[in-house]
Amino acid sequence: MARSESTLPSEPRGHARVIAAAVVPLVVLFALFLADVRLGQPDLFYRFSPIASGRLYHALPALLIAGVGTMGAFLGWSRGGGMGRAGRSVAVSCYIMLIGWTFVAPPFGISGHVFNLESPSHEGAFVRESKHVHGVREYLAADYYDRLGKEPHEMRGRRVLSNPPGVTIAYYAIHQAVQSNPRLDSILSRVFGLTGEVDEPVDRQRFAASLAMAVLFTVFWGAAVVTAYHLCRLWLTEPAAIAVAFACVFNPSTVNFTPGKDPAQMLSVLAILAGWLTAYVRGRPWWAFAAGVIGTAATMVGLIHVWIFAIVAAATLWHALRGSVGIGRWMKGCCLPCACGACFVALTAWVCLDWNIIKTTIRVAIRFGEIQMPVITDPFHWTLVGVPLFCLFVGPMFWVLLTVDRRREVDDAGSLGLNLIVAAAAVMAYAYFFANNSETPRLWMPFIPLLLVPMALRRTIFRRQSKADHVFFAMLIGLQSAVTVLHWTMMDVRETEYRLTTGRMWD
């Protein structure tokens, strides 16, 4: 190999560099943990866990599961070709167990989940807001807009004011189902151990409904790996696609905030990307229609989906104008089917629920800007902490992709990857200076796939078929899972443990 070429990861020196790139941010976080350096702005920061040793103990099963899954992937790929049925069974089983571990791992268990689902600064804001829903049609048509005009101190936080009412309605529907179905109430109470722990039936039903929603959040987040894998397989080899898809879903940003709305919406974010890009790359308009349906419905959970649509539309338009695909496929194969899907959802919501989705989107966007701007500008110099904070939470795959294999793919697919990176970076820069930059690890979660997948698309090693690279991809899976789990052991990002150990709750 010429001296000017980079060392490929399949060589020992390359392996050492990859491990260093993945582990150094974790070492930095550990140093900050030992020094008790606050991560974030003075009044808006992520706490370290006060019981990190207990978290480390609870992390041991996850490290074992990750080790088994990584070994299964390696043994399957080492024979050449695909992973094989046995390898896939091991990998899928370990992945399901790893996702399940995130729900049972927190040292305070169900108490911790109940805290997050009662806290007005987290998902509890939607639970509390659901008490003001006296009828779905009335709330969506009028009451929600009245509530949107209130000040943050009246709503005990910005959470409801910064988001559309989708999660509030979802919780209301689950709570109503539990209240009207004693059998469901009994099953949920037994599963979560609420019988005998909560005396009042009303409280038990509320906790059962909240925990059922937490389970749904976790399932949606875990299922996002399917859409991530489909997206990656448009260009990448099977081992590369599995490694990158896993990193898109299982990383410090998502694991530290699960169960919650933000990790759960990774499923819809990746569905938009997979649907639109499948239609664009492979000429399948129905995938764009599905992206329009899923993305428009998901917009009523979080406005981030509007930005995802904007990024992928702009990147593919740019690519179509400059490449061989042509503007016709972009318009007829992507835009029109997606618009039809969006119109279908909007008309259905209007007819069935008297819900004007366009009005809701505009009103929430305006209100978001009004209530978040003071967080950014007072004082402005604290804006600088946002990017370093995100760098600690983005996960090892990002750093590996920055350092591995300097050779780039400059073909048609590589050009599309560059367009996606540029469009995503532009939106992230705008959001950084004009939205809430103090919570970039949480709010920038949906951008992680828009960084990882295009970066992998432009790396030669992720697109070539070489048996020697399979060790590298198995190593990436192991690093991603181990670093993420160890990152989790140090953090108490939602102050759950701090509040429960000190007795200082929400007031």
Domain positions in the chain are 13-117+224-502
- Does the pLDDT at position 465 exceed 70? no
Return d(Cα 132, Cα 386) in angstroms, integer.
Answer: 34
- Does the pLDDT at position 273 exceed 90? yes
* Res 149: pLDDT: 86
The torsion angles phi and psi of 249, rounded to 5 degrees, stand at: -100, -45
In 3D space, the residue among 254, 275, 278 whose CA is nearest the CA of residue 266 turns out to be 254
158 vs 99, higher pLDDT: 99
Alpha carbon separation from 244 to 35, 55, 400, 479 (Å, rounded): 33, 27, 11, 12
* Res 131: pLDDT: 87
Indicate the pTM of the whole model.
Answer: 0.91
304 vs 373, higher pLDDT: 304
- Does the pLDDT at position 339 exceed 90? yes
Cβ contacts of 405-412, under 8 Å, gap ≥ 24: 405/6, 405/8, 405/9, 405/459, 405/460, 405/461, 406/6, 407/5, 407/6, 407/459, 407/460, 408/458, 408/459, 408/460, 409/457, 409/458, 409/459, 409/460, 409/463, 412/319, 412/323, 412/324, 412/325
Return d(Cα 64, Cα 100) in angstroms, integer.
Answer: 14
* Res 6: pLDDT: 44
- Name the pLDDT band for 210 (thresholds 50, 70, 90): confident
Mean pLDDT of the chain: 86
Q: Are 262 and 308 in contact (CB under 8 A)?
A: no
Return d(Cα 17, Cα 292) in angstroms, integer.
Answer: 41
Cβ contacts of 78-81, under 8 Å, gap ≥ 24: 78/467, 78/470, 78/471, 80/467
131 vs 309, higher pLDDT: 309
- Name the pLDDT band for 346 (thresholds 50, 70, 90): very high
51 vs 14, higher pLDDT: 51
Amino acid, res. 68: V
- Does the pLDDT at position 400 exceed 80? yes
